[in-house]
Amino acid sequence: MAAGNPLVEVRDLVKHFPIKKGLILSRQVGAVRAVDGISFDIVEGETLGLVGESGCGKSTTARLLTRLLDPTSGTISFEGRDIAFMSHEELKPLRRDMQMIFQDPYSSLNPRKTVGSIIAEPFVIHAVAPDPKERKRRVQELMEQVGLNPEHFNRLPHEFSGGQRQRIGVARAIALKPKLIVADEPVSALDVSIQAQILNLLRTLQRDLGLTIVFIAHDLSVVRHMCDRIAVMYLGRIAELASADELYGHPRHPYTGALLSAVPVPDPRLAKMKVRQVLGGDVPSPTNPPQACRFHTRCPKAVAGTCDVDDPELAAKAGGNLAACHFPLSDTEIAARVPTAAP
Ligand code: SF4
């Protein structure tokens, strides 16, 4: 699926959340199809972006990858071992190799614990560095590595700014030198001026520690300089998966084209050439997604009798992008949506 050694191979992954009714919630009346059959690889050392509107299934995918959620079906192979249905006991030794950074640095840190003890949590859980002096030394090293003052070891989370709190979350995530970090919208709750600092920090750590990162975002402009490849999700499925250069330069799926057409272009000459593609309607409910192509109810290129009947596979299109679409964007259509790609 992608060049390089896959660290993680996801196949036909499904997560449905049952909707229950009745006095003791004993009757299942439906399901939220949060993730509905996705397949992709995460290559060692890469940053893979997962992007899409709210409710597209990207955060559920993040939690499935790290097994904070149990899948409904499918496989998640981590270094060749299927972890999709491993017990918590079996997973414990693998957990140190896969860590998460959460969206909200305000709520993901225990307000009553000192920063030192928060960052030391993985050491305690996995019985690493049991000597308190050694543990403190390692925690302070981590604080320095993520740009925090090691002398603030005994401070509480509320004494730090939003950006600094996210640095605490990053320090905790890298404490055990994991192979995989899944960062779920790590900068969405931060001021724009701070976002770049955290993105730069993640990039530096990835280079220095050889990390593999899955970076979740709802905004394509955030992931552009962060990711090697990007998967665009829509209603629990992958609509398009491509290298960052190809995805931004030559999006093939109409949904990706619409998202990119909404990204502001700083050059006024190019901005004038750009045709903004406004998508009609809301994202349909994941409890009852449209048949066949999930995007057909909002797609400007939908063809009745094909797109609403025949479910498109995620397959290679011009330029090598994988796109789930019967009628991918032509070069002319791309040039209107992404004028920076025009000759
Ligand atoms: Fe649009 Fe049809 Fe492609 Fe779906 S398959 S994205 S409806 S053109």
**Is residue 157 over pLDDT 60?**
yes
Cβ of 258 less than 6 Å from ligand 1:
no
pLDDT digits over 286-339, tens only?
999 999 999 999 999 999 999 999 999 999 998 889 999 999 999 888 887 776
The label of the residue with tokens 């030391």 reads: 120
> In angstroms, rounded to a whole number, what is the distance separating the alpha carbons of residues 157 and 111?
6
The arithmetic mean of pLDDT across residues 159-166, rounded, is: 93
Q: Cα torsion for 39, 43, 46, 51, to the nearest 10°? A: 0
**Is residue 100 over pLDDT 80?**
yes
Residue 245 covered by a domain? yes
Distances in Å between the Cα of 58 and the Cα atoms of 63, 159, 196, 342 are 9, 31, 22, 31
pLDDT digits over 217-241, tens only?
988 888 888 899 999 999 999 999 9
Cβ of 299 less than 6 Å from ligand 1:
yes
Number of domains the chain contains: 1
Residue 169 covered by a domain? no
Residue 331 covered by a domain? no
Atom in ligand 1 nearest the alpha carbon of residue 239 = 6
Is residue 2 very low, low, confident or very high in pLDDT (cuts 50, 70, 90)? low
Average pLDDT, the chain: 91
CA–centroid distance, 254 to ligand 1, in Å, is: 7
CA–centroid distance, 280 to ligand 1, in Å, is: 14
CA–centroid distance, 49 to ligand 1, in Å, is: 22
Cβ of 119 less than 6 Å from ligand 1:
no
Cβ of 312 less than 6 Å from ligand 1:
yes
> In angstroms, rounded to a whole number, what is the distance separating the alpha carbons of residues 220 and 14?
24
Residue 61 covered by a domain? yes
- Choice between 206 and 277, residue whose per-residue pLDDT is larger: 206
Atom in ligand 1 nearest the alpha carbon of residue 302 = 7
Residue 332 covered by a domain? no
Report the candidate in 295, 234, 293 with the shortest Cα–Cα distance to residue 53. Answer: 234
The pLDDT assigned to 271 comes to 67
Is the separation of the CB atoms in 256 and 234 below 8 Å?
no
Is residue 273 very low, low, confident or very high in pLDDT (cuts 50, 70, 90)? low
Cβ of 96 less than 6 Å from ligand 1:
no
Structure tokens, 58: 């990207």
The pLDDT assigned to 26 comes to 80
User: Which residue pairs, CB below 8 angstroms and at least 24 apart, start in 36-39?
Assistant: 36/235, 36/236, 36/237, 36/286, 36/289, 37/12, 37/13, 37/74, 37/236, 37/237, 38/10, 38/12, 38/13, 38/233, 38/236, 38/237, 38/238, 39/1, 39/10, 39/11, 39/12, 39/13, 39/238, 39/314
Cβ of 302 less than 6 Å from ligand 1:
yes
pLDDT digits over 44-99, tens only?
999 999 999 888 999 999 999 999 999 999 999 999 999 999 999 999 999 999 99
Residues of the domain holding 72 = 6-97+178-259
Structure tokens, 154: 């005994």
Residue 31 covered by a domain? yes
153 SS3 class: coil
CA–centroid distance, 133 to ligand 1, in Å, is: 60
The arithmetic mean of pLDDT across residues 205-220, rounded, is: 93
Is the separation of the CB atoms in 221 and 307 below 8 Å?
no
Cβ of 171 less than 6 Å from ligand 1:
no
The pLDDT assigned to 332 comes to 86
The arithmetic mean of pLDDT across residues 142-161, rounded, is: 95
Atom in ligand 1 nearest the alpha carbon of residue 328 = 3
The arithmetic mean of pLDDT across residues 18-40, rounded, is: 89
Structure tokens, 60: 């559920």
Query: What is the share, in percent, of the chain residues with pLDDT greater than 70?
Result: 95
Phi–psi pair at 298, nearest 5 degrees? -125, 0
The pLDDT assigned to 342 comes to 42
CA–centroid distance, 307 to ligand 1, in Å, is: 6
Residue 185 covered by a domain? yes
Atom in ligand 1 nearest the alpha carbon of residue 301 = 8
Q: Name the residue type at position 180.
A: L
Cβ of 239 less than 6 Å from ligand 1:
no
Structure tokens, 187: 């900068």
- Choice between 318 and 173, residue whose per-residue pLDDT is larger: 173
Residue 184 covered by a domain? yes
Q: What is the CATH number of the domain that holds 74?
A: 3.40.50.300
